Amino acid sequence: MKQETAYSLARAQYAEIGLDTEQALGQLDKVALSLPCWQLDDVTGFEPKPRSLAGSGLAVTGGYPGRARNVEELRRDADKAFSLIPGRHRLNLHSIYGEFPGRVERDRFAPEHFAGWIDWARERGLGLDFNATLFAHQESQTGFTLSSYEEPVRRYWVEHVRACRKTSAHIGRALGLCCIHNLWIPDGQKDIPTDRFERRELLGRSLDEIYETSYPAGEMKDAVESKLWGIGSEAFVVGSHDFYSAYAHKHGLLLCLDTGHFHPTESVADKLSAILQFSSELLLHLSRGVRWDSDHVVLLEDPLRELAQEIVRIGLGRFHLALDFFDASLNRVGALVLGSRAVLQALLIALLEPKPDKADDNLSRLARLEQAKFLPWSAVWDEHCRRHDVPTGMKWLNDVRQYEREVHNRRK
C-alpha cells in the first residue's frame, strides 16, 4: 500500500471519532527537542586534558567504536542525527564542549569559547541550550561544589555557573532563540550525613549569589535539576526534588525533572499537573533508567507514553523537552535518532488521543482510551516523516549503518 493511501485511510478513521490528523501533525511540527551533545562522545568534552568521570556520580558504560574525538567530528555526527529526525530541533551543550585555545579554568569560560557553536547553529537554523559542568574536575573531588564548606571551592563553582549563565544569554541573543541554562550538581554523600541542613543552607546561599544577575527571558531561562541519588551520593543528595521545587517556585526558575532521577516506582507523569499549578513552564529531561539512573536511550514504553499523554493534556506550550542519556554500548548517532523518534512518536500518539467527554462515566472513558490503541497512528507517523523528508519505518537504520561504515569505523 502506498504511504499516501495508508495516511488517507488513517485520516478517515481518526475523523470518525472526531480527530483531525492534520491538526495533530501541525502541533507535532512545533515540538523542538533538545538533543544531548554528550551522547556523541561519552561526556568527554573538549577541555585540553579531559578528566575522568570517576567520583562524579556519573558513569558511561560500553566501548562501541566511533566516539567523536573533537568538535568537528561531534558536529558531523550531530548533523547526521538531525537529518534522520523529523522536525527542527535543538542541541544541548555542556560547558566543557567549548573550543578552548589552551587550558581555561571553568570559572573563566566565556562566550567567545562558543562562537563556533553559535555559527554552526545559525547556519542550520537551530537553537542551543546550555549546562554548567560541575563534575569531573579537581575542585569537585570531595563530592561537594556549591555546598562545599571550603569557601574557595564554593566560590570557584559560583563563578563558573555565573560564567555559564552569561554565555547562555549571549547564545540566546546571538541566535534570536531563547537558551535554557540548566544546573545540575553532583553534591552528596555516600554514607549517613549529620549536616543536611547546613549543606542545603550553603547551596541556597550559592544559588542566591548566582541568580542575583538577571537576563531577559527572550535570551535565556534558568532551570534547576534534582536527583534522588547517585553513585557516591547514595545516602544524601543536597539538590533534592523537595529543595529545588521550593527554590524554583520562590525565585521564579524553571524546575527540571529528569525521568531517570526518581525512584523506579515513582510516576513522573503524575507530577506534571501538580507542579504546573504553581509554575507556568517545566523542563523535562527524558531518559530511561533500568534499575537505577542508568541513562539508557529512551524507548516507546509505557512510562514515556504516559508522560506524553500528560504533556499533551496540559498543553505542549508549557514544556521544554530535552533528551538526557549517554550510552556507549551502541552506535551513538543511532541512539540519538532512536530516542528522539520515540519521544516524537509518544507525543503523536497522545495528540491522537480521543478528547474527553465530560458526560462519560468511568467505563466509557476507559473504553475510548482502549479503542484508540487500535487506531493506525503509525501511518500518521510515516506521513510526518515523509513531509520532513526523513526515512520511515526502519529505513533510518540503513543510513546509520552506512554512516558507521564510512565515518565511525575510520576513527581509531
The 10s digit of each residue's pLDDT in 142-164 is 999 999 999 999 999 999 999 99
Distance CA 202, CA 373 (A): 50
Name the catalytic one among 295, 310, 327, 404. Answer: 295
pLDDT band at 77 (very low <50, low <70, confident <90, very high): very high
Q: How far apart are CA 95 and CA 113, in angstroms?
A: 9
Which residue in 202, 249, 188, 244 sits closest to 58, CA to CA?
188
Q: Under a CB-based contact definition with an 8 Å cutoff, are residues 152 and 209 in contact?
A: no
Q: Are 59 and 289 in contact (CB under 8 A)?
A: no
Residues 6+ apart with CB under 8 A from 118: 128, 171, 174, 175
| 261 is an active site residue | yes
Catalytic residue among 41, 324, 327, 353: 324
Q: Which of 77, 129, 225, 382 is catalytic?
A: 225
SS3 (DSSP) at 79: helix
CA distance 322 to 397: 22
Domain boundaries, the chain: 1-30+361-412, 31-351
The cell 541542613 sits on which residue? 197
Q: Report the percent of the chain where pLDDT is more than 90.
A: 88
The separation between CA 165 and the C-alpha centre of its own chain, rounded to angstroms, equals: 18
Number of alpha carbons in the 13 Å side-chain half-sphere of residue 217: 4
CB 19 within 8 A of CB 354: yes
Report DSSP state, residue 291. S
CA atoms within 13 A on the CB side of 271: 17
DSSP 327-364: --SS-HHHHHHHHHHHHHHHHHHHHTSPPP-TT--HHH
pLDDT per residue as tens digits for the range 293-351: 889 999 999 999 999 999 999 999 999 999 999 999 999 999 999 999 999 999 999 99
Predicted confidence band at 1 (pLDDT cuts at 50, 70, 90)? Answer: low
41 is catalytic: no
Concerning whether 89 is annotated as a catalytic residue, the answer is no
Question: What is the number of H-type helices and E-type strands within the chain?
Answer: 13, 10
Is 295 annotated in the active site?
yes
Say which residues have a Cβ less than 8 Å from residue 283's Cβ, sequence separation at least 6. Answer: 180, 182, 223, 225, 254, 255, 256, 257, 319, 320, 322
Cell of 198: 547546613
- With CA atoms as reference, report the closest residue to 10 among 1, 21, 23: 21
Whether residue 55 has pLDDT greater than 80: no
* pTM of the predicted protein model: 0.96
For residues 352-381, average pLDDT: 89
Among 241, 285, 296, 384, the one annotated catalytic: 285
Place of cell 502541533: 27
Residue 388's pLDDT band (cuts 50, 70, 90):
very high
C-alpha to C-alpha distance for 44 and 170, rounded to whole angstroms: 24
Which grid cell sits at 285? Answer: 529531561
Nearest by Cα to 287 from 254, 266, 311, 261: 261
**Residue 373 falls in the annotated catalytic set:** no
Q: Does domain 31-351 have CATH number 3.40.50.620?
A: no
For 185-232, write each residue's pLDDT tens digit: 999 999 999 999 999 999 999 999 999 999 999 999 999 999 999 889
Q: What is the pLDDT of residues 64-75, one digit of tens each?
A: 999 999 999 999
Active-site residue, from 47, 258, 353, 404: 258
181 catalytic per annotation:
no
Q: Specify whether the CB–CB gap between 356 and 365 falls below 8 A.
A: yes
Q: Is 293 a catalytic residue?
A: yes
Q: What pLDDT shows up at residue 292?
A: 87
Tell me, what's the pLDDT at 386?
A: 97
What 8-state DSSP symbol labels residue 296? Answer: B
